[in-house]
Chain A
Amino acid sequence: MIPGVLSDWLTPLIALFALVVLFSFYISWRATRLDRLHTRVETAHAALDAALLRRSAVVLELASASELEPASSVLLADAAGQARRAEEQGRRELAESNLSRALRAVVEEPGFAGGMSDAAAQGGGGVTAGPIVPAGTSGEAPPAELLAEVESAAKRVHIARRFYNDAVAATREARSSRLVRVLRLAGRAPMPDFFEMDDEPPVFPPWG
């Protein structure tokens, strides 16, 4: 039996202990949630990185397609090359935006689809003077397939960036709470930054 005097001060102690336990459960839940958000940001960043690399790779392939006229080739090769070499975040955002703009300028140029299909029909498109290059000797993807790939790569960049920025927004929101800041629940994880770029995919002309 517990004497009445003892229970008098034991009851609030138990209540306090229960509170502490509950609070620490809450803290650990918050920390886990934050950790999960950071993981989500990392995953989304990896996906965005992959989407950007894939886009510059297929744009380079389009740039070297023999059906394309050389001015557009040079524009695309230059923009894709600059995007690949831009390593730091700030420069990368600019270079990737420039790639979006160059791709739109080339693809949305009136006559693009017609020119590509004519050139494909001629097989080699007169890129070389003199003897006509027979169709199918270049071993490249046919333009229709390649264009579909460029289109999907550009759209994927748009989607991947949307998801990444969404994850960044959620994480920044979670980290802005006073509790997280006071108890340093985020640990040493750097504050994630939004990826700002012009990712508007080009409007592909109907392929015929």
Chain B
Amino acid sequence: MRIGLVCPYTWDVPGGVQQHVGDLAEALMDLGHEVSVLTPCDSETELPAHIVPAGRAIPVPYNGSVARLAFGFRAAARVRRWIHEGGFDVLHVHEPAAPSLSLLACWVADGPIVATFHTSNPRSRAMAVSAAALRTALEKINGRIAVSEAARKTLVEHLGGDAVLIPNGVAVRRYENARPLEGWPGDGGAIGFLGRMDEPRKGLPVLLEAFETLGRRRPGLRLLVAGPGDAAEVRERVSAELRDRVVLLGRVDEADKIRAYHSVDVFCAPNLGGESFGIVLTEAMSAGAPIVASDIPAFRSVLREGAAGELFAVGDPMDLVRAVESLLDDPERRVALSGAARAAVRAYDWASVAGDVVGVYETVLAGVAATGAVPAAHGEGE
């Protein structure tokens, strides 16, 4: 299948949508499809062959902040030319409600169009305000995908209609192998945590309380915490005698984050609830870290009812102590859990997510095949 992907945001700035489009493109190519990605791109950066730059994105006020977007008739002409030359079987636009390339693609193209909606901001009034301007262009979309339940709700509220839910994939390959951080995990054992330190729902206080017991029972045990937040305030909550065994990395970059997953004997996800999917958990699973996680429905399901990671009672530090100790004392069980986690996370890998997306393409194509429509840019090809 020849697939044309359109990304509305500039490629040289990292962001969730860009990452999604890049990962999806690679996964689709791995499945044997031909893929071309059209995206705004500022600099003359070296791009892989399948990424087609559509010119500079212009900073412009939008929805209460300044966004870098590609708009205007010239951008529309570039989209038209790309569709004309691409000869795609299906056009897949991302975030078509944003005033950028994706919306322009819907405007200039005729034929099978699939759209993925990423935004999940119920307070955003931008979509509501411009709904009328959007409606005509968005009417041409044959199949709509939402990446989360929240994104689906936002879409339904502002534009009506419905969408199928296909979550973000995990780039398992990116997490599989990494060198542990210098000096980790160490002989005494190490526990890891990743997430905002100052957000109680992420459950760091539960883990810190458990460490008061764990740290005293096990003299060499250390705790590695990565994520943004007030480090001094966290350190304050740890007893003085244990303080030098709690290492706070603060905000880390992508590479160090991956290394952090590989630096611990047990990875802990003590969330108190609210996680719809648990991206941190799936990343840790991809890295093959033995996992101890709260028994919340989302985690229970990702961890295959406890087969791919040890579950403990939500918000219960003593049960967390039990779970961590059972793993620290049993290296064989850690190896078994690591393997089970790596196997279980395959279901969330981009390869399988891309398979679901292809399923959407095929459904849409089956419909248009009956009517004989082919994707084409209307107007002259320039």
Q: What is A's interface to B at a CB cutoff of 8 Å? A: 63-64, 69-75, 77-79, 81-82, 98-99, 101-102, 105-106, 109-112, 114-116, 118-119, 126-129
Contacts and interface: CB of A to CB of B under 8 A. Distances in A.
Contacts of A99: 61
A70 B99 contact: yes
Given A70-B137, A111-B77, A114-B73, 5 more contacts: A69-B104, A71-B69, A74-B133, A74-B134, A115-B76
Interface stretch (B124-132, B174-182, B308-316): B124-132
A72 B133 CA distance: 10
A116 B73 CA distance: 8
Given A64-B133, A77-B129, A71 B64 contact: no
Interface in B56-106: 58, 60-64, 69-77, 97-101, 103-104, 106
A73 B130 contact: yes
A102 B74 contact: no
Given A70-B103, A98-B61, A129-B378, A111 B133 contact: no
B60 A69 contact: no
A96 to B, nearest CB: 11
B64 A82 contact: yes
Interface in B353-382: 378-379
A74 B103 contact: yes
Interface in B6-51: none
Contacts of A127: 107, 136-137
Contacts of B196: none
A128 B378 CA distance: 10
Contact of A101 (B60, B125, B126): B60
Interface of B: 58, 60-64, 69-77, 97-101, 103-104, 106-108, 110, 125-126, 129-130, 132-134, 136-137, 139-140, 378-379
Nearest to B101: A71
A111 B73 contact: yes
Contacts of B137: 70, 127
B149 to A, nearest CB: 25
Given A74-B99, A127-B136, A128-B136, A69 B62 contact: no
Contacts of A114: 73
A78 B103 CA distance: 15
Query: What 7 pairs across the A-B complex have the smallest Cβ distances?
Result: A115-B73, A71-B71, A109-B72, A98-B61, A111-B74, A74-B99, A81-B129
6 contacts: A69-B104, A69-B107, A70-B136, A71-B71, A74-B99, A115-B73
A73 B71 CA distance: 10
A69 B126 contact: no
A134 to B, nearest CB: 16
B179 to A, nearest CB: 44
B101 to A, nearest CB: 8
Given A75-B69, A110-B72, A126-B108, A105 B60 contact: yes
Contact of B71 (A75, A77, A98): A75
Nearest to B377: A126
Nearest to A127: B136
A129 B133 CA distance: 15
Contact of A102 (B61, B106, B132): B61
A166 to B, nearest CB: 27
A44 B107 CA distance: 43
B72 A70 contact: no
B74 A110 contact: yes
A73 B137 CA distance: 11
Contact of A71 (B63, B75, B110, B378): B75
Contacts of A78: 62-63, 99, 126, 129-130
Nearest to B378: A126
B61 A101 contact: yes
A128 B319 CA distance: 61
A78 B130 CA distance: 6
Contacts of B74: 109-111, 115
A40 to B, nearest CB: 32
Contacts of B60: 75, 101-102, 105-106
A107 to B, nearest CB: 10
Given A69-B72, A109-B74, A74 B130 contact: yes
B81 to A, nearest CB: 13
Nearest to A63: B133
A69 B78 CA distance: 13
A131 B101 CA distance: 24
A72 B61 contact: no
Contacts of B126: 74, 78
Contacts of A74: 97-99, 103, 126, 130, 133-134
B62 A75 contact: yes
A60 B379 CA distance: 26
Nearest to A71: B71
